[in-house]
Structure 1
Amino acid sequence: MNQASTFPVPPSPHDLVMADALQLSQWIRLRKVSCRDVMSAFLDHIERVNPAANAIVSLRERPALLAEAAERDAQLARGEYLGWMHGLPQAPKDLTATAGLASTQGSPLFRHEIPTTDALMAARMRAQGAIFIGKTNTPEFGLGSHTYNTVFGTTLNAYDPTRSAGGSSGGTAVALALRMLPVADGSDMMGSLRNPAGWNNVFGFRPSQGRVPSVPAHDLFFHQLGYAGPMGRSVGDLAMLLSTQAGFDARAPLSIAEDPAQFAGSLERDVSGSRIGWLGNYDGYLPMEDGVLALCESALAQFEAIGCKVDPTRPDFAMERVWQTWLTLRHFSCAGTLGGFYRNPEQRALLKPEAQWEVEGGLKLSGEDVWNATVTRSQWYNALLALFERYDYLALPSAQLFPFDAREPWPKSVAGRVMDTYHRWMEVVIGASLAGLPVISVPAGFNAQGLPMGVQIIGKPHADLRVLQLAHAYDQATQWVKRRLPPALSA
């Protein structure tokens, strides 16, 4: 007897796109619904909501996708179950190489680039049965926390289409929030998983340095500022995707050799008694738009309601030194990855001004400049370790302002303070990035204008699972994702 017959009322197309990824995965595994019906439901939904949001790009043709979904059904009928992503529509971030599927990096230089092999993370998702339907939009080379480029245009916020979606994983966050994907991947150098998650009322997790290997990579040892991670509408979905993304690979010698299956189990844990240090705006160092701190502090009250103890604190460190270190190392990285394009006048003309500025800054650096930056970075890490002697977690806002006008390339001022670079307004995220610590953005709620904000929860070195467990407890207590749907879904 067909197993599907044991379910007299199959999920509707609406049920399919609204379901958490783990629920949808179970329905497919039990053959309560076919992979083809799942694909059809998501493609219909994408056709309705994506034109206004512009989150998914390079969308493949429907007949090819339905045929691939039908093959997943045939595999199930033969008893061949690939894994928890069997038949799930997935759209990797457009910075990720995907075999046979355009990977533009948001740059006109790669407008027609179609890789012949997958990056490791994409290969791991395919091996679990995911079907790549397209890509999610990103700013050019992932530079800047506002998702726009000259190849595909601007991705718009799920809760207010006049506002920025954040970035660089802005397409990822909007696709999740608008239920165009059940779960999704992104990457994070300067808050690229955290800012868009906070601005679209979903969860974004930047894992510990080395948790998710970057393969292929030109540099295997030095460049450790940015790497991939998961996003989800629940912490459980996010953790399950991390279990697929993570795991040692010899081609990434600094990758963590721990069993990624730890993230596929239960996230239940008694978090009462957990000590959270609230960094806020670093005692006024960071400008914050009115309402950001108050909203985040209301979220911290929810952590107290589940038994955590929250106290204000700050690191014993000059924060301007952290920023200067970030500028140096980012310049250095961009000069290395984009310098070849910059030296070619025709290609340089196709780089956005911010990319050219980063390269020019890198070309001015001395070896001593880079060495001093790495030393300061190490000192910053030790300053945070000192805080972790008193606290189990550290917290601060996911952004310094609410989503801004999508027509602007970046905010020129925050709370009356002029921003002197295209990314100064995201300074709040660099602390965890430089330290390589696990950090998750959890929804904090909405301001009076209906704009979302997130809170970053930073854990101790390699304490990814404990960060996810705390976030899961908060998720169960608040249910922000389910409580407040984007207008396009609730109309």
Structure 2
Amino acid sequence: MVDSLTEATARDLVRGQQCGEFSAREVLAAHLERIDDVNPIVNAVVTLDRDGAQRAARDADREAAVCRAAGEALDLLHGLPIAFKDSHATAGLRTTYGSPLYADYVPAQDDEIVRRIQDAGAVRVGKTNVPEFAAGSHTFNEVFGATHNPYAIGRTAGGSSGGAAAALAARMQPIADGSDMGGSLRNPAAMCNVVGLRPTPGLVPDPTAGVGFSPLTVSGPMGRTVDDVALLLAVISGAHRADPLSFSGRGLPAGPVVPADLRGLRVAWAPTLGDRVVVERQVLDVLEPAVKTFSELGADVEPGCLDLDGADDVFRILRAAEFDLLWADQLALHPEAFKPDLAWNIRQANGRTGREVMRAWAELTRLQRAAHAFFDAYDVLLAPVSQVAPFPVEQALAPGHRG
């Protein structure tokens, strides 16, 4: 039972509870046993709320009995155990952001993504590990240490949603939440062989964002299957009046993902992003057969890449400006509490002029318009998520990292 429940998809776990095949308490017990067995090695779940989760599972079973008796459907995420990313606030449960400055911080309110997931029936189990302030493509911090890749202990799980990706890959939970500024949903998913989706800014609202008009950071779903990611995205998407980028209307539909006919799909393949980056051969050896599969299924695949000229500089300037706003005052007061690469990123805003920042926004606008033009000719762009394979967990930065 434990193996079958921890290997099952999120949709199948909800279906099983709907028909009474198993209970939320059994689903939780199986995943807690898996956490007990595997987490001491992987270090993905860093705060565990065992008692709270067991109370929530009992409540879920009572609700399921009422729904079955009335012939009603269960909530979309009914009884699914989830440990939330430790950069998403959880009311009454420690949220550290991976920083010693917040090692004992307990928020009074849930972040909106947490609230929506729990309102859809999920059972809060705890928190998943992040890099310091969720900044970085390798998940380690001074509070909890490093998260290991379940497929290669001793290698990184990626970041910043590395704890979430590792917990999914190790079958400690069936779904996970994450956030993404420069790859934090996609990078760990790629490194841990799960699925991470960075949504369009505004699709998943963040009413507590310090810079509500910035499209850089978004929250989004992770899962072991595309179908489970679609299920979670349906729950967390939808309008919120406190997010100025929020889409109007309700969230996305929650129905299952249906396989598409790929014949005639226009696909651009950019293995090195137009020779702008160096990608390890180990990564390309995995991706090239997958690209070939698109052709075999009828897609029209050809080399192609959108205009990315200047994108690195745009990202670094806007990231530095945002980091400066968020953490420069704390860095000045507690320089010893920040890891060196994050402190360096924050200080990159020093001396920047308003004109430089606005020029970066203008360049981002140009790049966005160029991307729209590119997708007039193509339906899909295929490219590596990460330039490197998972590197040793003791290594603070990815090979070739420039900040």
TM-score in same-fold range (> 0.5)? yes
Higher relative contact order (CA 8 A, sep 6+): 1
1-structure distance, mates of 2:126, 2:366: 42
1:10-409 alignment, distance < 5 Å = 12-61=1-50, 63-79=51-67, 83-221=75-213, 223-318=214-309, 321-344=310-333, 347-409=334-396
Work out whether residues 173 and 197 of structure 1, in 8 Å CA contact, stay in contact via their aligned partners in 2: yes
Work out whether residues 82 and 127 of structure 1, in 8 Å CA contact, stay in contact via their aligned partners in 2: no
Work out whether residues 82 and 128 of structure 1, in 8 Å CA contact, stay in contact via their aligned partners in 2: no
1-structure distance, mates of 2:246, 2:305: 30
Local SS of the residue matching 1:83: coil
Shift of 1:76: 1.9
Local SS of the residue matching 2:85: coil
2-structure distance, mates of 1:198, 1:140: 21
Work out whether residues 272 and 306 of structure 1, in 8 Å CA contact, stay in contact via their aligned partners in 2: yes
Work out whether residues 197 and 231 of structure 1, in 8 Å CA contact, stay in contact via their aligned partners in 2: yes
1-structure distance, mates of 2:123, 2:251: 22
Letter in 1 for 2:236: Q
Work out whether residues 99 and 114 of structure 1, in 8 Å CA contact, stay in contact via their aligned partners in 2: yes
Letter in 1 for 2:294: F
Work out whether residues 244 and 260 of structure 1, in 8 Å CA contact, stay in contact via their aligned partners in 2: yes
2-structure distance, mates of 1:65, 1:390: 49
Aligned sequence identity (%): 37
Work out whether residues 167 and 173 of structure 2, in 8 Å CA contact, stay in contact via their aligned partners in 1: yes
Letter in 2 for 1:150: E
**Gap change, CA 1:99 and 1:81, over 3 Å in 2:** farther
Letter in 1 for 2:358: W
Letter in 1 for 2:101: L
Structure 2 spans left out of the alignment, 5+ residues: none
- Per-residue deviation, residues 285-326 of structure 1 (Å, max 9, x unmatched): 2011123223212111112222211100133453xx111111
2-structure distance, mates of 1:343, 1:410: 24
2-structure distance, mates of 1:140, 1:77: 42
1-structure distance, mates of 2:290, 2:33: 36
Structure 1 spans left out of the alignment, 5+ residues: 1-11, 414-418, 423-491
Deviates most, 365-374 or 274-283: 274-283
- Per-residue deviation, residues 157-213 of structure 1 (Å, max 9, x unmatched): 111011110000101111111110011111111111111111111111001111100
TM-score of the aligned structures, taking structure 1 as reference length: 0.79
Work out whether residues 388 and 399 of structure 2, in 8 Å CA contact, stay in contact via their aligned partners in 1: no
**Gap change, CA 1:72 and 1:304, over 3 Å in 2:** same
Work out whether residues 185 and 230 of structure 1, in 8 Å CA contact, stay in contact via their aligned partners in 2: yes
CA RMSD in angstroms, aligned pairs only: 1.5
